[in-house]
Structure 1
Amino acid sequence: MTQPVGCSSPPVFDDYFRISFEELLVWRRDVRRFRNDPVPQQLEEHLLDLVQLAPSVGNSQPWRFVRVKSANVRRAVRGNFELCNQEALAGYQGEQAKLYAGLKLSGLDQAPLQLAVFCEDATEQGYGLGRATMPETLAWSVVGAIHILWLSACVHGLGLGWVSILDPAKVTSALSVPPSWRFIAYLCLGWPEEAGKVPELEGLKWQARTAAGRTVLDR
């Protein structure tokens, strides 16, 4: 693995960097519409190198990636999504059902790069530090690594979409991974068709961003 360029002393982040970082957070999107152009191998490897800088409980680094290239496996994942999506649609009624039916919820047909992300529950790295009472922190560490990948992809002009309407057991079976690997996410990456001014779910009136999570309780 080629290590990202490091600094011998902590860097000083100026106002321009801070503004650019905030713009990155504002413009990050869950992308569903991709061009077919391939993602250069060198860029893919660089992004995966950056993921290794993500924090993890006890420095366990439990994330494991599977590059899904096989047409047969992609078809299996696509079929899995279609079935789960129909079951999800049946759970909505009225106007909400109409809105749901019109949502584009995956980029499985267009995304040139598709990654399944797993958590290695049996990892010995980190020697169990920090997770004896909260073993779920392993999975949370993987989610943190996915966020690093998401932001890094955005910096390089790539879009990332997290496909969550899937049956984890069926995805795991289709990919024939070790039994100690727990499925966390299926990611579509590629060059977005366009950069939307607002997130797609907001633009389609599914759900506006709220400040509910901004609540801070004082105790």
Structure 2
Amino acid sequence: MEQEFNPVTASDACFSESERHGLYRAIYERRDVRSQFLPDSIPADVLARLLQAAHHAPSVGFMQPWDFMVIEGDEVRASILALFEQENQKAAECFEGERNDLYRSLKLQGIVESPLNLCITCDRSRGGPHVLGRNSIVETDLFSTCLAVQNLWLAARAEGVGVGWVSILDQAQLSDALNLPDHVYPVAYLCLGYVSEFLDQPELEAKGWRSRLPLSELVHGDSWGQPLENGPLDALLRDQSR
């Protein structure tokens, strides 16, 4: 049964300190998991909570374009792994020398190791030909589905469940493998499961692939490239980047 929430008034609109801590902890400790999966299955009630969290994402025109494919069968996962290996070989050829060696040393999926795979799709026809708010930016249905992915990811971290997004897949081949209708687009192929640990840093950062950019360099003023006026926000961002 869906959880009921009491109406929020202005006096209690803010979360408590412990609630805020939990939310920010999930944000900062969320990881893209590839190689720390345990064989333990995810209980049905936990998975139901994760799917409910995803289903409560905002969506353009309240379109709710997402569907959730729960994938446990070995045969299906083996076919997806074969698609990954094909595309991963192509991706490796984009890099040379030490960069190529580093790329090939990275584990970029946990399709077979994770106890559960989940494909979150976007039904681009849902809501009819004219969806409120989608006339100018047609891709907002895809953006909405990404918000469902993030909701699920943060809820999973709070439940101690690791999530890994397998992005090295040809979407047309993935659609064929999952028998998706033409109007349904596979947005995210995810690996889910309990893990032995959540790494202190994102794995690509720890392995030296890329470093996190300073936030102070990414915040602009009234127009692109214009710095913020010297003030509390500018000072805080610069302090955080040190």
TM-score (norm 2): 0.85
Give the Å deviation of 1:45: 1.2
Give the Å deviation of 1:129: 0.3
Alignment of 1:115-126 (within 5 A): 115-124=118-127
Name which of 2, 11, 22 aligns with 1:20.
22
Number of residue pairs matched? 218
Name which of 118, 129, 152 aligns with 1:149.
152
Verify the 8 A CA contact 1:59 1:125 in the aligned structure 2.
no
In structure 2, what is the equivalent of residue 113 of structure 1?
Answer: 116
Runs of 4+ more than 4 Å apart: none
The yes-or-no answer on 1:31 pairing with 2:30 is no
Deviations 1:133-168 (A, max 9, x none): 111000000000000000000000000000000011
The one-letter amino acid paired with 1:140 is F
* Aligned mates of 2:25, 2:74 — CA distance in 1: 37
* Aligned mates of 1:125, 1:143 — CA distance in 2: 20
The one-letter amino acid paired with 1:204 is K
Verify the 8 A CA contact 2:71 2:119 in the aligned structure 1.
yes
The yes-or-no answer on 1:167 pairing with 2:167 is no
Identity of aligned residues (%): 36
Give the Å deviation of 1:20: 2.6
In structure 2, what is the equivalent of residue 176 of structure 1?
Answer: 179
Give the Å deviation of 1:52: 1.6
In structure 1, what is the equivalent of residue 218 of structure 2?
Answer: 214
Moved more, 141-150 or 44-53: 44-53
* Aligned mates of 1:38, 1:166 — CA distance in 2: 25
Verify the 8 A CA contact 1:113 1:190 in the aligned structure 2.
yes
User: What RMSD in Å do the two structures reach over aligned CA positions?
Assistant: 1.6
* Aligned mates of 2:25, 2:5 — CA distance in 1: 23
Verify the 8 A CA contact 1:60 1:126 in the aligned structure 2.
no
DSSP-derived class of the 1:78 partner: helix
* Aligned mates of 1:157, 1:54 — CA distance in 2: 20
Give the Å deviation of 1:125: 6.5
Moved more, 95-104 or 145-154: 95-104
Change (3 A) 1:36 1:126: farther
Verify the 8 A CA contact 2:78 2:112 in the aligned structure 1.
no
The runs of 5 or more residues in structure 1 that have no matched partner are none
Name which of 64, 79, 84 aligns with 1:81.
84
In structure 1, what is the equivalent of residue 189 of structure 2?
Answer: 186
Verify the 8 A CA contact 1:58 1:127 in the aligned structure 2.
no
Deviations 1:31-85 (A, max 9, x none): 1120011011121112111212100001000011111222221111000000000
Moved more, 146-155 or 193-202: 193-202
Give the Å deviation of 1:203: 0.8
* Aligned mates of 2:134, 2:154 — CA distance in 1: 26
Change (3 A) 1:175 1:87: same
Give the Å deviation of 1:189: 0.4
Alignment of 1:52-63 (within 5 A): 52-63=55-66
- Greater radius of gyration (CA): 2
* Aligned mates of 1:95, 1:195 — CA distance in 2: 27
Deviations 1:81-103 (A, max 9, x none): 00000000011011111110111
* Aligned mates of 2:18, 2:45 — CA distance in 1: 28
